[in-house]
Amino acid sequence: MNAPTHPADLMPERDDEGYLIEPADWNEDVARALALEENIQLSDIHWGVIRFMREYHDEHQVAADARFVIKHLETTLGKEARKKLFELFPYGYVKQACKIAGMKRPRAWSTG
């Protein structure tokens, strides 16, 4: 009998900082596992941000800058959008949101 597969065994290849090497390897199960590593319980608002980021990446082939995500959130949250983004991802947009959404680490950005 084979030992059960641990979720980490199913994780696509990642760099030394934990970002996916290939964003196309991402799926929602990968997002859930990455969020768990970051101690984030994904809510509907998290998923809205993640899906927006994935759509933006598919269209532009780069990770969305936080200001585009904030604009997206403003459509439902208004002036609270910026504050909410940093509540959703308290250790930073790049460190957590980009990682969970399966982006490569944006090299020109800080991890804040």
In order of start, what are the domains of the chain with their CATH numbers? 17-100 (1.10.10.370)
Q: Flag whether pLDDT at 101 surpasses 90.
A: yes
Residue 105: the pLDDT is 82
Q: Flag whether pLDDT at 2 surpasses 50.
A: no
What is the DSSP secondary-structure string of the chain?
-PPPPPGGGGPPPB-TTS-BS-GGG--HHHHHHHHHHTT----HHHHHHHHHHHHHHHHHSSPPPHHHHHHHHHHHHGGGHHHHHHHHSTT-IIIIIIHHTTPPP-TTS---
Among residues 12, 11, 18, the alpha carbon closest in space to that of 91 is found at 18
Tell me the pLDDT of the chain averaged across its residues.
88
pLDDT in tens, 24-56: 999 999 999 999 999 999 999 999 999 999 999
Residue 6: the pLDDT is 45
Residue 107: the pLDDT is 72
Q: How many CA atoms lie within 13 A of 88 on its CB side?
A: 25
This prediction has a pTM of 0.85
Q: Flag whether pLDDT at 5 surpasses 50.
A: no
Residue 109: the pLDDT is 53
